Structure 1
Amino acid sequence: MGKEKEEVKVEILINNLLAERNMSLRELARLSGIEPSNLSNLANGKRERIYLEHIERIADALEIDEISKIMRLKYK
Structure 2
Amino acid sequence: MEVSLDTGRKNQIRVHMKDLGHPIAGDRRYGAKSSPIHRMALHAQTLRFVHPITRKDMNFSTPIPASFSKMVAM
Question: Given the two structures, how large is their TM-score scaled by the length of structure 2?
Answer: 0.25
Larger proportion of helix: 1
TM-score of the superposition, structure 1-length normalised? 0.25
Q: Which has the higher contact order (CA 8 A, sep 6+)?
A: 1
Higher-Rg member (1/2):
2
